[in-house]
Amino acid sequence: MIFGYARVSSADQNLARQLKELKAFGCEKIYQEKQSGKDLSRPEYQKLRSILREGDILVVHDLSRFGRNKEDIRNEWKSMIDQNVDIVVLNMPILDTRKYKELEGVGQLVTDLVLTLLSWMVDEERNRIKTAQREGIQIAKEKGVYTGKKKMYHPGAKGKDKIVYDEVVRLLETGESVMNIHRKTGLSRNTIYRIKRDWNFALNDR
């Protein structure tokens, strides 16, 4: 049986294009969901995996539909191949395990090469985005329009932020350790240390 799997990461994204391509390929049953690809614990994907049997074909639009983690993709791929389930990746025709039935080892070699390449591309894209962000911040600073991340939990804060700030200061005044305050408030230790520094500075400035 030919199964399709379509996924997007958030509710406001559209599955239409993936579904159209999976239907055009001839998928008899399509599982779809709007879930993050951070791991494999997704309801529809797990339903699909539970029914895949030897001789079935799984079709996806691209490798990232499995998830974002290269090791997860590699492990899933190997698991399905061991189960004699074929995999077809529509946007990368080289990743069609049906082509390598008579060529022992070649299918896994192709998969390893492609996954390595994709991993490199992901790293390069991540580095490109970080570089662009740094350059954008630097340009904004030079123009005097960069304000940075909004500061939370400070003397001039409003609403919930001010309540949390006052509670941290109260605990500091009673001699509570940063670790204990972290446990009681749920704030990160770095945030508490920053509040403590600001609080000490204010005390010394009186």
Per domain, the residue ranges of the chain are 2-120, 159-204
The residues near 194 (Cβ < 8 Å, ≥ 6 apart) are none
Do the domains at 2-120 and 159-204 have one common CATH topology?
Answer: no
- Share the mean pLDDT of the chain: 81
pLDDT at residue 28, as a whole number: 97
pLDDT tens column, 156-206: 888 888 888 888 888 888 888 888 888 888 888 888 888 888 877 555 544
Q: Is 119 a catalytic residue?
A: no
Q: What is the phi-psi region of residue 84: left when phi exceeds 0, alpha when psi lies from -120 to 50, beta otherwise?
A: left
Superfamily for domain range 2-120: Resolvase, N-terminal catalytic domain (3.40.50.1390)
Residue 172 CB-half CA count within 13 A: 18
Helices (H), the chain: 16-25, 43-51, 70-82, 106-143, 159-173, 178-185, 189-204
In the sheet that holds 86-89, the strands lie side by side as 29-34, 2-8, 57-60, 86-89
Superfamily for domain range 159-204: Homeodomain-like (1.10.10.60)
Contact 62, 90 (CB under 8 A): yes
Other beta carbons less than 10 A from residue 72's beta carbon: 15
One-letter identity of residue 133: Q
Strand, coil or helix: what is 64?
helix
Lowest mean pLDDT among 49-53, 92-96, 105-109: 105-109
pLDDT tens column, 167-178: 888 888 888 888
* Residues facing residue 29 across a β-bridge: 3
